[in-house]
Chain A
Amino acid sequence: MTLPKSASIVIIGGGISGCAIAWNLANRGIKDIVVLEKDTLANGSTGRCGAGIRMQWAAEKNCRLAQYSVDFFEMANETLQYERDIEFEQCGYLIVAVNEKEAEQFKKNVKLQNSLGIPSVYLTPEEAREIVPILDTSQFVAATFCQKDGHLNPFHTTDAFALAAERLGVKIFKHTEVTGIDVKNGRIGSVETTRGRIATDIVVNAAGGWSKAIGAMADIDIPTYVQRHQVLVTEPLEPIFSPMVMGFSYNIYIQQVPHGSIIMGRSDNTEPLDFRTTSGWKFVEEMTKTCSKLLPALRTANILRQWAGHYCMTEDAQPIYGPVPGLEGMYLACGFSGHGFMLAPATAQLITEMILGESLTIDVSDLDVGRFERRELVFEHSVV
């Protein structure tokens, strides 16, 4: 497949966001869409993530974005006509609070979530243990649970969006790296790649960790940065527990995925701020310590592999959506700070609406790139 000379829209990044945006735009009848991926699909943050999907957030906006996405994923195999299976299991998220202060916040969260139609519940440790019998109840004071949260196969989901997009005429170029963006009179002119140049009016920057570098090619500063995050996985085991267990103070997310393996990850502010995907021994030591405290029965599970990816972070750990002031034609869908995978259907819908000039399903005008300069940050505290 040769690179076309021109395209109506060039989407940079073949992760979940780029592929979902491409499909969504094509589904609305847009022709001549091109997706450029420097490696293979889902090779960046998407393919390395913990793959959880949750609607239990502290900020209303995130609840709504997640809610939109969960609704989409529930029907995604059908919507995208995907033959394999995106493996969306609504096995729930169980989030533990380790002190009264956190428990109070959780009560507020549940109230907000319920008001939006998210069926989360507040639980005592004993009630939580009925859902996840291997929890050590002495390690937390309360929990919240939402059955409709769950887990999704990131590779298959990206694959599903990509295949559906291709059936609608989207051209996806793997192993094609963007090397430059031509801007004329404040407008996008063309995109240069390792395989040639494509003239276009519109560029969607969905390059995740590389979004800053892509911005720089058009002389704009996108205030994102990358941070390494590590994950480990055990061998497949008989079903033990199904929800994603999460603790913000505990600094853990852990889940037995449908295949039987247990995946767990944590955050670490000392992690390097670069693209390396090597993993460290300290992570394994810390992770195993936390895991065996909260879920002691897992001590005998065999670790198979550790790996790393990166979060594309912003200062307030919230995404950047929308156009760039002073540069006509560039749309940003980046800075997801670890949640881009689960928000992808909403991202795709919102970017499509922005490009088509429609009113937004969810008002994300405050998540624009300008908020950092205006110092109008939108913090979300329920993150690992």
Chain B
Amino acid sequence: MLINTGIATQELIKKLIPSPERRARGPYAMVECFQEIPCNPCSTSCPFGAILPMKDINDIPTIDLDRCTGCGICAGVCPGLAIFIIDESKGDGTATVTIPYEFRPLPEKGETVRAVNRQGNIIGDGVVTRILASKKTKTPLITVQIPAELVYEVRFLNLIDDKSNSEEPSSTYQSVVTDDLSSKVLDTVEIDDTAGTENDEDEIIICRCEGLTLGVIRDLIREGYTTVDEIKRISRAGMGPCQARTCGPLIASEIARMTGQPIAEIQPSAHRPPVKPLPIEFFLGGDSE
């Protein structure tokens, strides 16, 4: 599922694929936006009116492919980088995909790059045929020529390592490519599975100003100090310079967890001025402008 993995499913993609006639006719936009979110720049950006006006800003964009010229303006505007321009009209077994690409360095025209799919896996090579770097959107559009059968797969590109110098980090993440998240890929090591027990948690520092651990807080709650204020009075948690900014919510949620009280009903301790520590002499000055 898209909302579990961030990867659009085949069913979602299939719905976007136009008729064979349209595919043969020339470039068109694929709007891979499947979630109702409050966003509409694509619909107002198209000079040809191909992305239909939205009744509601949360509408999923609808594209009229008869009007779409594949100009790519929407692809540069889309804040989600979710629009790609596909051109399968050449009919020579190659196709191009135009990808919004906000990484540096940019590839150069004619350069061979790795073609990457939605999962982040390299699935082939491509050649950069065009680079459009708009000053307005600051989102460069890179057009890559790839085998035609990969045109619904390739959605990202990687520069080839030796060019961008392997020390350069723009490519280091390329090694972390995985689909089923087997532990190997994540550089995992075997660990003692007794970790993560309650005792372990008891050592967690909750109040950094006073150096109080979760264990201390839990003991107090067990003893019947079940408000943030009572814990503060007995233990000094929250009396330090941070004024309970960090520990207050953590203590409240621990009280809620241990006592079953709804967290909404747990009163925070009072918020007192000054909001940050200031020296006594600061208040003596004052301006007389």
Residues of A within 8 A of B (CB): 40-43, 47, 84, 155-156, 159, 234-235, 259, 277, 279, 281, 284-285, 288-289, 291-292, 298-307
Q: A302 near B279 (CB under 8 angstroms)?
A: yes
Q: Which residues of A contact B273 (CB under 8 A)?
A: 279, 281, 284, 305-306
Determine if B270 and A277 form an interchain contact, defined as CB atoms under 8 angstroms apart.
Answer: yes
Do B236 and A259 touch (CB < 8 A)? yes
B227, B239, B281, B283 — most chain A CB neighbours (10 Å): B283
B85 CB to closest chain A CB (Å) equals 59
Q: What size tier do the contact residues of chain B reach?
A: 20 to 34
By beta carbon, the residue of chain A nearest B278 is: A303
Is A289 touching B284 in the complex (CB atoms < 8 A)?
A: yes
How far is A183 from B289 in the complex, measured between Cα atoms in Å?
Answer: 64
Chain A residue, CB-CB nearest to B271: A305
Closest residue of B by beta carbon distance from A303:
B278
Contact B277 A299 (CB under 8 A): no
Sample of 20 more A-B contacts, CB < 8 Å, known A291-B280, A303-B274:
A40-B229, A43-B229, A47-B233, A159-B234, A235-B241, A235-B277, A279-B273, A288-B280, A288-B281, A292-B281, A299-B281, A300-B279, A300-B280, A300-B281, A302-B279, A303-B279, A303-B283, A305-B243, A305-B274, A307-B272
B254 interface residue (CB < 8 Å to A):
no
Given A277-B270, A279-B273, A288-B284, are A299 and B279 also a contact pair (CB < 8 Å)?
yes
A302→B233 contact, CB < 8 A = no
Minimum-distance CB pairs A-B, first 4: A155-B233, A302-B277, A299-B281, A288-B283
- A305 — nearest CB in chain B belongs to which residue? B272
CB <8 Å contact, A284 and B283: yes
Q: Which of A234, A259, A292, A307 contacts B270 (CB 8 A)?
A: A307
Distance in Å: Cβ of B67 to nearest Cβ of chain A: 63
Nearest CB in chain B to that of A233: its residue = B239
CA distance A205 to B270 in the complex (A): 27
- Contacting residues, chain B, for A284 (C-beta < 8 A): 273-274, 283
Q: How far is the CB of A38 from chain B (nearest CB, A)?
A: 13
- When chains A and B are docked, how far (Å) is the Cα of A222 from the Cα of B62? 76
Question: In the complex, what residues of A have CB within 8 A of residue B202's CB?
Answer: none
In whole angstroms, how far apart are the Cα atoms of A307 and B232 in the complex?
15
B125 shortest CB reach to chain A, Å = 62
The smallest beta-carbon distance between B74 and chain A, in angstroms, is 54
In contact, A301 and B280 (Cβ under 8 angstroms) = yes
B280 touches A279 (CB 8 A): no
Contact present for A303 and B284 (CB under 8 Å): no
Q: Which residues of B contact A234 (CB under 8 A)?
A: 280
The answer for the CA separation of A214 and B190 in the assembled complex, in Å, is 66
Chain B contacts of A281 at CB under 8 A?
Answer: 273
A41 touches B284 (CB 8 A): no
Closest to A293 in B: B284
User: Once the chains bind, are B236 and A156 in contact (CB under 8 Å)?
Assistant: no
With a CB–CB cut-off of 8 A, which chain A residues contact B59?
A: none
Q: Is B230 an interface residue (CB 8 A)?
A: yes
Q: Roughly how many angstroms separate A42 CA and B225 CA in the complex, as a whole number?
A: 12
**CB-CB nearest in chain B for A277:** B270
Looking at A281, A285, A302, A304, the one whose CB has the most chain B CB atoms below 10 A away is: A304
**Chain B 254-288 interface 0/1 with A at a Cβ cutoff of 8 Å (1 = within):** 00000000000000001011100111110110100
User: Using Cβ atoms and an 8 Å threshold, which residues of chain B touch A47?
Assistant: 233
Asked if A306 and B284 make an inter-chain contact with CB atoms under 8 angstroms apart, the answer reads no
The residue of chain A having its C-beta at the shortest distance from the C-beta of B243 within the complex is: A305
Write out the residue numbers on chain B whose beta carbons fall within 8 Å of the beta carbon of A277: 270
State in angstroms the CA–CA spacing of A300 and B283 once bound together.
Answer: 11
Q: In the complex, are the beta carbons of A292 and B234 less than 8 A apart?
A: no
A299 touches B272 (CB 8 A): no
Give the one of B230, B278, B280 with max A CB within 10 A: B280
Residues of chain B lying within 8 A (CB to CB) of residue A155: 233-234
Expressed in whole angstroms, the Cα–Cα distance for A42 and B234 within the complex equals: 11
In whole Å, how far is B223's beta carbon from the nearest beta carbon of chain A?
Answer: 9
Q: Which residues of B contact A307 (CB under 8 A)?
A: 270, 272
Which chain B positions have C-beta within 8 A of A299?
Answer: 279-281, 284
Which residues from A are CB-within-8-Å of B274?
Answer: 284, 303, 305-306
A292 to B241, CA, bound (A): 21
**CB-contact partner of A156 in B234, B281, B284, under 8 A:** B234
Whole-angstrom CA separation of A281 from B286 in the bound complex: 12
Which residues on the B side are within 8 Å of A285 (C-beta)?
Answer: 283, 286
B278, A302: Cβ atoms closer than 8 Å: yes
List residues of chain A with CB within 8 A of the CB of B286.
Answer: 285
Cβ-closest chain A residue relative to B223: A163
Known: A155-B233, A155-B234. A304 touches B243 (CB 8 A): yes
Per the bound structure, the CA–CA distance linking A305 and B236 in Å amounts to 14
Complex formed: what's the CA distance from A15 to B236 in Å? 18
B272 A279 Cβ-Cβ under 8 A: yes
CA distance A299 to B282 in the complex (A): 8
Contact B272 A41 (CB under 8 A): no
How far in angstroms is the closest Cβ of chain B from A170?
14
What B residues does A279 contact at CB under 8 A? Answer: 272-273
Shortest CB distance B271–A (Å): 10
Residue of B nearest to A46 (CB): B233
> Smallest CB–CB gap between B157 and chain A, Å?
54
Cα A43 to Cα B270 in complex, Å, equals 12
Nearest Cβ on chain A to B278's Cβ, whole angstroms = 6
Inter-chain contact B280/A306, CB cutoff 8 Å: no
- How far, in angstroms, from A328 to B272 measured CA to CA in the complex? 43
Separation of A307 and B239 alpha carbons in the complex (Å): 12
Are A301 and B279 in contact, CB atoms less than 8 angstroms apart? yes
Question: With A and B bound together, what is the CA distance between A8 and B229 in angstroms?
Answer: 31
A303-B277 contact, Cβ under 8 Å, with A159-B234, A235-B241: yes
Q: Which residues from chain B contact A305 at a C-beta distance below 8 Å?
A: 239, 243, 272-274
Q: Are B230 and A40 in contact (CB under 8 A)?
A: yes
